């Protein structure tokens, strides 16, 4: 039998967990998408797009996520743009995560040796075919560990949505902890929730990496 307090806590946290998932899933997907686009442009785009994307990545990697969220949620109303807490949080997560993702994508694309591309050309593949069939499958594998790690960061940093008043896992817990003044238990349990989420994500990522593994690829 669990005490009424813990029952209430678990109910609140489960509610929060669903909200957290509602933040994490679209943000992760959006972040990867933005990251791939920005990463490709940073690696292969013309000077103009490369400069723009480099600047984007530098800004979002060089400032704290919480500043970005504050600008989106508290700052934009100054110029007449009002975002809901959820919209502000997801936008911030996608933009920030995309900036980091683009770094891995760019690195992976540039790391594929030029002779791979030349080899494809020598066989008569077009530029697009070479990129799509030779470069991308290799780059994807190279970028995967970094990108996966970024998703794990995103899971943890989704807790920042609470700061812009979106009631997810951390927010629900904080409210209850303050109400009952039982911080240690509440935050320990919240910690376990995140540990479970992160462990699950790591498990899935390892599975994907294993599936895509090619003997001898990625060494040296």
Partner 1 sequence: MLEAVSIIKGALPYLLAGSLITAGIVIGAMALGLVLGLSMAVGQVYGGNALKRALGTYVWFFQGVPILVLLFLFYFGVFHYMGLNLSAVAAVTIVLGMTTAAYQANIFRGAILALPQGQFKAASTLGMSDIQTILTIILPQALRLSIPAWSNEFSIVLKDSALAFVLGAPEIMARAKFVASRTYQHLPIYIIAGLIYFILTWAGVRALAKLEKTVRIPGYSNKGM
The mark string for 35-64 relative to partner 1 (x by CB under 8 A, - otherwise) is: ------------------------x-xxxx
Per DSSP, 112 falls in state S
Rounded to the nearest whole angstrom, what is the least distance from the CB of residue 52 to partner 1 in the complex? 17
Buried b (16+ CB within 10 A) or exposed e, 110-133: eebeeeebeebeeeebeeeebbee
Q: Rounded to the nearest whole angstrom, what is the least distance from the CB of residue 33 to partner 1 in the complex?
A: 23
Say whether residue 101 binds partner 1 (CB under 8 A): no
Check binding of 93 to partner 1 (CB under 8 A): no
State the Cα–Cα distance between residues 218 and 215, nearest whole angstrom.
9
**Which residue's CB is nearer to partner 1, number 33 or number 192?**
192
**Euclidean distance between CA atoms 176 and 128, whole angstroms:** 55
Binder among 22, 37, 52, 71 for partner 1 (CB under 8 A): 71
Q: Which residue has the tokens 């995103």?
A: 154
- Tell me: does residue 218 bind partner 1 (CB under 8 A): no
Cα-Cα-Cα-Cα dihedral sign, residues 42, 46, 52, 58:
positive
Binding to partner 1 by residue 159, rule CB under 8 A? yes
Question: At a CB cut-off of 8 Å and minimum separation 6, what does 166 contact?
Answer: 19, 23, 85, 86, 88, 89
Q: Catalog residues that contact partner 1 under the rule CB under 8 A.
A: 59, 61-68, 70-71, 74-79, 156-160, 162-163, 170, 173-174, 177, 183-188, 190-191, 194-195, 198-199
């Amino acid at each position: 039998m669990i005490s009424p307090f813990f029952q209430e806590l678990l109910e609140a946290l489960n509610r929060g967990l669903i909200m957290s998932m509602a933040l994490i899933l679209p943000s992760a997907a959006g972040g990867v998408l933005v990251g791939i686009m920005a990463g490709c442009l940073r690696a292969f785009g013309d000077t103009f797009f490369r400069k723009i994307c480099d600047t984007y990545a530098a800004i979002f990697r060089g400032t704290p996520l919480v500043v970005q969220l504050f600008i989106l949620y508290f700052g934009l109303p100054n110029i007449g743009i009002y975002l809901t807490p959820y919209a502000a949080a997801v936008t911030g997560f996608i933009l920030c995560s995309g900036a980091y993702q683009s770094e891995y994508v760019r690195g992976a694309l540039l790391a594929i040796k030029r002779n791979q591309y030349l080899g494809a050309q020598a066989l008569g593949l077009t530029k697009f075919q070479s990129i799509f069939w030779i470069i991308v499958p290799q780059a994807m594998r190279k970028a995967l560990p970094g990108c996966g790690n970024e998703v794990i960061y995103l899971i943890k940093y989704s807790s920042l949505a609470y700061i812009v008043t979106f009631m997810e896992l951390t927010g629900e817990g904080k409210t209850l902890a303050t109400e009952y003044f039982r911080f240690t238990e509440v935050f320990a349990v919240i910690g376990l929730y995140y540990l479970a989420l992160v462990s699950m994500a790591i498990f899935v990522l390892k599975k994907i990496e294993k599936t895509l593994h090619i003997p001898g690829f990625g060494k040296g």
